[in-house]
Each structure stands twice: as C-alpha cells, then as structure tokens.
Structure 1
C-alpha cells in the first residue's frame, strides 16, 4: 500500500471512492447524495492542494484508491495552529490498518508545518471510528446533540481533538 498526496488526475476515481464510502452511512453525505462532477472534484482537489495549511492524502493499493484523509487548516491567525480532519476507507479495505497509516501520515505532516491541534467530528454510533481515533490519541471534547438527521432520526456527533505539543 502506498500513501501519497492526491493528484488532480485522481478526481474521477476519488469521486467513486467517496460515493462508496458514503454508502457506509457514517459520512456527512447520505448514500447517493454526492452529485459532484469529475471536473468539480478536480477543481476541489486543486483548491485544497494549493492551500498552504491543508493537505489531502490517499491510500492506494493494487492501483486502486482504498481510502483518504484530508486536513483543512485554519486560515486566520487565531486558528492557524489547528486543522479539521476528514477520513474515509472503502469497506472492502477496512481492517487492514489503512486508517491508522493515513492518520500517521497526517500527524507527521502536521508536525512538520507547525499544526498543534487536530480536530474532527464523528457520528457517536460509529463505534469503530471512535475507538480508532481514541487509539490514535484523540479525546472526546464534547457532544453535538441532534446535529444530524439520519433516516429521519436525530443523531449525535462527538467533537474530538488531539494536541500535538
């Protein structure tokens, strides 16, 4: 498996990966809701890649994209030390350590550029993800009550964070 920065040429395959990950029910997009075109995805990759304090990595195995992690860095002086994370792994590749490797890659990147706080939100019912984040040193900071509606029912999310120094 290879962890590498995403490239604009990955746009179409990455879009398909996201659609597959959305089917898990644990992402912000509902299954079938993502309606970007490959060109719009390419532009989004280009935009994120050009931001000084943001990064996008993909996990590639057997020439397929198996997962991703994105870090969106703060843009203001007061939050430049922090980045918000989004992580997803294709269900066929789960349990192989891909999420851990992606997270370690982002931790290394954050340390290199001086980010000292990483944060994310995770659906409370996604116990596997919560345990992964806790294993990686993230702590629950709070709970967003009824922050999402999933299948017509309110769902809660955890705010989680990790301080790097």
Structure 2
C-alpha cells in the first residue's frame, strides 16, 4: 500500500465518485442495495452532500485510499435526538479494520453532537457486521423477520 488511509467529510464535488462507489459496493454484497439510488443524478447527489456538509446534525465521511473512495459512513439525523448509522467498505478492503476505524470516527462525532442515540438496521445473516456493532456497544432493540434494529446510547 503506497498511501495511507484518510478520512474526510464528503463535499459536493464527491458526488460522482460516491455514486460510482455505491454502485460498485452494491454489486459486491447482498447486504447493500443501490436500487433507491439508481435514479439519483450527480447534481442531486451534490446538493444532498452540500446539505450534509453544512449540517451540524448529519455526517457523511469518506475513507480514501490512493485517491479512491473505499468506504464511508453516514449518520442521518432523525429528530435531533437520534441518528441512523450506515457504513460501507469496498470488499477489496474487508478484514483490514476499516469498518472499525469508520465506526470509531462516527461514534466520536456522535458523542460531540447533541445526539442521544445512534441506531442501525442489519441483516440477521450478516454476522460479521453484527459482531462489529456489538463490539462497539450496540445492542438489539427490535427483531424483524430478516433484520435487527440495533442501537447505542451516546
């Protein structure tokens, strides 16, 4: 590896590369769906990224390696008290601690925010992700047919 992993907030200029990354990641894993994003234009994504960047209650951070997006996390404010968390890592970089690195950054950000709770939804069969979430203090709040809603109080 010729370059270090860098984390940085997403900016509007990242729209095209983020959409391409999400499309690629959805093809690598059954746990990620790109269907709801397929009609999002680069312009609309740039507008959304700008709003997130300007917000003090939402966060989208990219993991960059060799000038390419290899992962990201998103904290989406729901009601000023809780945020939904999501994390995605390029399959080529799995098992390198990147998801944990992103998780730590996200939780540090959440602790400095007004948020009281972070929650997520994960497929029950995604045991690797569930293990990571439990490692960082997430507990199962609700069980659905195929997924778990997990949460962590901040």
Q: TM-score when scaled to structure 1?
A: 0.84
Q: CA deviation at 1:127?
A: 1.4
Q: 22, 25, 30: which is aligned to 1:25?
A: 30
Q: Could you list the runs of 5+ residues in structure 1 that have no partner in the other structure?
A: 146-155
> Paired residue for 2:92?
92
Moved more, 36-45 or 60-69: 36-45
Task: Judge conservation of contact 1:53–1:74 (CA < 8 Å) in 2.
Answer: no
Structure number with the higher helix fraction is: 2
Name segments (4+ residues, structure 1) moved above 4 Å.
none
> Paired residue for 1:38?
42
1:73-103 deviation line (CA, Å, top 9, x unaligned): 133xxxx221111111111111111111111
Q: CA deviation at 1:35?
A: 2.9
How many residues are paired up? 149
The 3-state SS of whatever aligns with 1:10 is: helix
- 1:162 is the counterpart of 2:146: no
Q: Could you list the runs of 5+ residues in structure 2 that have no partner in the other structure?
A: none
Query: d(CA) in 2 for partners of 1:106 and 1:33?
Result: 23
Query: d(CA) in 2 for partners of 1:43 and 1:65?
Result: 19
The 3-state SS of whatever aligns with 1:59 is: strand
Q: CA deviation at 1:54?
A: 0.6
Alignment RMSD, CA only?
Answer: 1.6
Distance 1:29 1:5, change over 3 A: same
- 1:50 is the counterpart of 2:40: no
Q: TM-score when scaled to structure 2?
A: 0.89
